[in-house]
Structure formats: C-alpha cells, structure tokens
Amino acid sequence: MALITLRQLLDHAAEHGYGMPAFNITNLETLQAVMIAADRTGSPVLVQASRSARSYVDDVFLKHMFQAAIERYPHIPVCVHLDHGNELSTCLSAMENGFSSVMMDGSLMADAKTPSDFDYNVEVTASVVEQAHARGVSVEGEIGVLGSLETGEGEKEDGHGFEGKLEKKQLLTDPAEAEAFVRATGVDALAVAVGTSHGAYKFSRRPDGDILAMEVIEAIHARLPATHLVMHGASTVPQDLQDLINAHGGEIPGTFGVPLEEVERGIRHGVRKVNIDTDIRMAMTGSIRKFLDENRSSFDLRAILKPGRERTIALCLERFERFGAAGMASRIRPSTLHAMADRYAAGLFNTKVA
Ligand code: G3H
Ligand code: 13P
Ligand code: ZN
C-alpha cells in the first residue's frame, strides 16, 4: 500500500528536477485513466478532489476508490490531495477520509468568493498546518488571487473564484509577501497567482508575458528556492479537443490555455505541482460527444465512457512524460504518515519562522 504525502513526493521531484501533474478526478473513469497512464509510464501519482468532487462522489466512495487504486497498483506511490479547501473543517474532514495532503486556499474567504487579506490567510493556513503536520499530512497554501490579467476577473465557471474585478497587483503574487507567508505558516507547497485561471477560458490569445507572468514564478523561486511552487489553472486547453467538442455539437468559443512550454519553464524554476482539471473534462466530454454522435442508437454506458477514458489516458501519459515524472515511481521509498508526523515534530521540514 503506497499512500504518500505531497511533501515526500515534491521533495523527490525537486531533488530530481521534475514536475508532478496534479490531476483532478471526478469519477471512477478519470481515476482509472490517471492510474493506467501512471502504470504505463512508471510515474508516481498525484490525484486531487475538489469540494464539489467530494460532494458529487461522496467521501466514503472516494476514500474506497483511492484505496482501490492503491491496491490495484501497489508499485505506484499515490498522493491523495484536497484541492482548494476553504476552511479548517473542510481540511480536517479530508484528513479523516484518507487524504494525505490538503490545500488550504486562504487567498479567498471561506465563501470561496471574497478575496481575503494577508493576516487572515496566514492565520487560517497556519491553523491547518498545525493540525495536518501533527498527522503527517502535507499542506499547500495560496498567496495571490487567481484570475485573468486580461479581464481582471476570476473564472467562476467551476464555481470557485472571486466575484467582480481585481487590480493587476492583486492578481500577481508579490514575491516578498510569498516569502513572509511561507515563513509565517510553514506550508509544504505554495500556489501562486501569475495570470492563470480555472476553466477553458483563460486567454483570448496565445499568452505572452503580459498576460502570463512566468517571470513572477522565477522571482518567487529566487527568494524561496526550497519551496515547492504550484501552478493552478495549468490546463493547456488543447486545440484538438476544442475541435473535437465543436465537431460534435459543442459550442466552445476559440480560447487558449497554458502552453506546455510555459509549464516546462515553470518546472525549471521551482514549479513542482501542475494542476490539471479542464483538459481531462475536455478529453472525456469530447470523446463522449463523438461516440454518441456516431452511435445514435447506443445506450451502453460502458461503450459511451470508454473512449473518454482512453483519450484521458493519452493526455495523462503525455503530461507525465513532458514533466519528467515518467520512470520515477520505482525511485520513491514511501514514508508513512506516522513517519512524516515524527519528522515534522523533529523540525526536519521546518520553514516556519516565528
Ligand atoms: O478548483 C478548480 C477545479 O477545476 C475544480 O473544479 O470545483 O468544479 O470540481 P470543481
Ligand atoms: P484547470 O482548470 O486549468 O484545469 O485548473 C485546475 C486547477 O487549478 C484545479 O485546482
Ligand atoms: Zn485551482
């Protein structure tokens, strides 16, 4: 059984210079696709569930799905992470349900809509760190608010993100603030705002430095070389999947995601966790649309979902390979949560400075 923590996984990624795709899963087929791709490439796995995924699947089902993935692929280390926890109680219930890592997103208030201030963010994140580390569980924090530098808006298509418009300054993480945040909270990984946003509608053109501020990542990494950085909203929104969806009744207006080369640039500058949800949704739904379009009398649910699972496997395979995670599974010696808790207690990972 190889449940591992985010801390152990990203420490390994940093030591060996690779990035981990963090795949959002929503159901059995998406989890299977990630596991099959990891098995074929010999990659470790980082899977995450949002609050809405948890309520859609149900925590008990989710816990057993993750355990099934670990039992089915015992040679693959699997980190199970909560995406965008909004308050301490959400993070605690994830820990109680088998998550080995949690994100406390204190960049927004608990309503997941209202931007917070620095002091609130530090306080809520530090309280999660204290509870999590005592259990050996890792914590990702966020400083800076995710949103588009083109429009000043947060993408709310998936129900997460601020309302209204923000100044460019608020949409870009301040490196000095990032450093103070890590020192005050002791987080294991740090999500930063550089102009990416959730969902398919990230950029109206192929992004350049004006709308995707990769140099901010470089500046943060220069100040915090030992901190694992996280890119949210890192789907590429592939043109072929937009075309697939639109060819079969979809109506996705032309849009651009984060080019893989920019993610690779991030990985060279401390990005270790790369969040991907939208690309999986597009691979699944585009393939489902195509199948239903071409097989109008079919109602065999397995036949309908299978092409989506196949397309998702191909997508995950490419990400594992491009980010350098392929072949790394067998090079990790999983530590238990107990062992991690002992290490936190001994101050071995201590980035927190009073
Ligand atoms: O947080 C962003 C992810 O894409 C999760 O979206 O809340 O609709 O599952 P979701
Ligand atoms: P995408 O919408 O770009 O896939 O981002 C997902 C994400 O950041 C989940 O936290
Ligand atoms: Zn996110």
The whole-number pLDDT of residue 158 equals 53
What is d(CA 37, CA 7) in angstroms, rounded to the nearest whole number? 22
pLDDT of residue 270: 98
Position 354 in a domain: no
Decide whether any atom of ligand 2 lies within 6 Å of the 160 Cβ.
Answer: no
Strands (E), the chain: 3-4, 20-24, 45-49, 78-85, 101-104, 138-143, 189-192, 228-231, 271-276
Is residue 232 within 6 Å of ligand 2 at its C-beta? yes
Q: Report the separation in Å between the CA atom of 274 and the middle of ligand 1, taken as the mean of its atom positions.
A: 14
Identify residue 78 by its one-letter amino acid code. Answer: V
Please choose, from the candidates 98, 82, 85, the residue with its C-alpha nearest in 3D space to the C-alpha of residue 49: 82
pLDDT tens digits, 276-312: 999 999 999 999 999 999 999 999 999 999 999 999 9
Q: Give the residue-averaged pLDDT of 180-201.
A: 97
Is residue 304 assigned to a domain?
yes
| Alpha carbons 43 and 127: distance in angstroms, whole number | 32
* Residue 210 annotated in active site: no
Number of domains in the chain: 1
For 316-336, write each residue's pLDDT tens digit. Answer: 999 999 999 999 999 999 999
To 5 degrees, how large is the angle CA 299–CA 303–CA 307? 130
Q: Is residue 353 part of a domain?
A: no
Beta carbons of 306 and 98 less than 8 angstroms apart: no
Q: In angstroms, what is the span from residue 70 Cα to ligand 3's centroid? A: 24
Q: 274 and 19 in contact (C-beta within 8 Å)?
A: yes
Q: Do 190 and 228 touch, CB atoms closer than 8 A?
A: yes
Residue whose structure tokens are 């393939």: 287
Q: Which is catalytic among the residues 83, 105, 188, 279?
A: 83
Task: Decide: 236 in ligand 2 pocket, CB within 6 A.
Answer: no
β-strands 78-85, 45-49 pairing = parallel
Q: What gap in Å lies between CA 11 and CA 274, rounded to an integer?
A: 15
Asked if residue 191 belongs to a domain, the reply is yes
3-class secondary structure, 328: coil
Is the Cβ atom of 105 under 6 angstroms away from ligand 1?
A: no
Which ligand places an atom closest to the C-alpha of 142? 3
Is 351 contained in some domain? Answer: no
Q: Is 84 in the pocket of ligand 1 (CB under 6 A)?
A: yes
Tell me the two tokens of residue 156: 């709310």
Summarize pLDDT for 93-117 with one digit per residue, the tens: 999 999 999 999 999 999 999 999 9
pLDDT of the residue at 354: 65
Looking up residue 251, the CATH number of its domain turns out to be 3.20.20.70
Give the separation between CA 351 and CA 139, rounded to whole angstroms: 12
Distance 134 CA to ligand 3 centre (A): 25
Mean local confidence (pLDDT), 26-38: 98
Structural domain of 276: 3-345
Classify residue 50: in a domain, yes or no: yes
Kindly report the pTM of this predicted structure: 0.97
What is the predicted pLDDT for the residue at 351?
78
Q: Whose CA is nearest to atom 6 of ligand 1?
A: 158
Which one-letter amino acid corresponds to residue 231?
Answer: M
Establish if 350 belongs to a structural domain: no
pLDDT recorded at residue 116 = 96
What is the CA(141)–ligand 2 centre distance, in A? 15
Return the residue whose CA atom lies nearest to atom 7 of ligand 1: 52
Tell me how many degrees the CA angle 184-187-189 measures, rounded to the nearest 5: 135
**What pLDDT shows up at residue 149?**
95
Question: What are the start-end ranges of the H helices in 5-134?
Answer: 6-16, 28-41, 51-57, 59-72, 88-96, 118-134
